[in-house]
Amino acid sequence: MFSEKPEFSIAIPSQTQLLKMVVEITRHIATLYNFRPADAQKISLAVDEAITNAIKHSYDNREDQDISVEYFLEAEGLKIRLTYSGTPPDLIDHEINLCSMIKNKSKGGLGVELIRRIMDSVAYKTVDGINTCEMIKWQKRA
């Protein structure tokens, strides 16, 4: 079980120029906790996608809003929780179909799909106007 208290947390304004910084922090934390470099890079990509979605969809690209990222660690895995307000995420509950997206010139859902395929579990929740996205990646057993 993950502890209630995060090992690390960061708070950023909703600006895409900060994405790379969060990606690097996440990759560093994941590597520190024994994820292979390739997995650490994918975990950081999932965080990038989740923050991008919050900025674009929940905050409509406003740059003065808040996003917090918390990292919960245990021997078996890493849980990352994003917290933000704004419009609740509108999520599709089925896998994307690339061919129909190309035909319809639609780009929506690609980031959410990447998160789903990278992480072992993803849960979105909105309570009293606060949105959370919790993502877990378990360590692969040797």
Partner 1 sequence: MRNFQVRSKVVNDVAVIYPKGHLDAHNVGRFEKEIVKHIGDHNFKILINGRDLNYITSAGMGVIMGYVDEVREKGGDIKLCSLNERVYEIFDLVGFTEIYDFVSDEQAAMAKFSHVLGKA
Q: Which is nearer to partner 1, 64 or 128 (CB)?
A: 64
Cβ 64 to partner 1, closest distance in Å?
16
Q: Which residues sit at the interface with partner 1, rule CB under 8 A?
A: 16-17, 19-20, 23, 38, 41-42, 45, 48-49, 52, 55-56, 96, 98-99, 101-103, 105, 107, 110-111, 113-114, 117-118
Cβ 74 to partner 1, closest distance in Å?
26
Side-chain half-sphere exposure of 77, counting CA atoms within 13 A: 15
In this structure, are residues 47 and 70 in contact, taking their beta carbons and an 8 Å threshold? no
Cβ 114 to partner 1, closest distance in Å?
6
Q: Which is nearer to partner 1, 54 or 73 (CB)?
A: 54
Q: What totals of helices (H) and strands (E) does the chain contain, helices first?
A: 4, 5
In this structure, are residues 73 and 33 in contact, taking their beta carbons and an 8 Å threshold? yes
Q: Report the C-alpha gap between 87 and 84 in whole angstroms.
A: 9
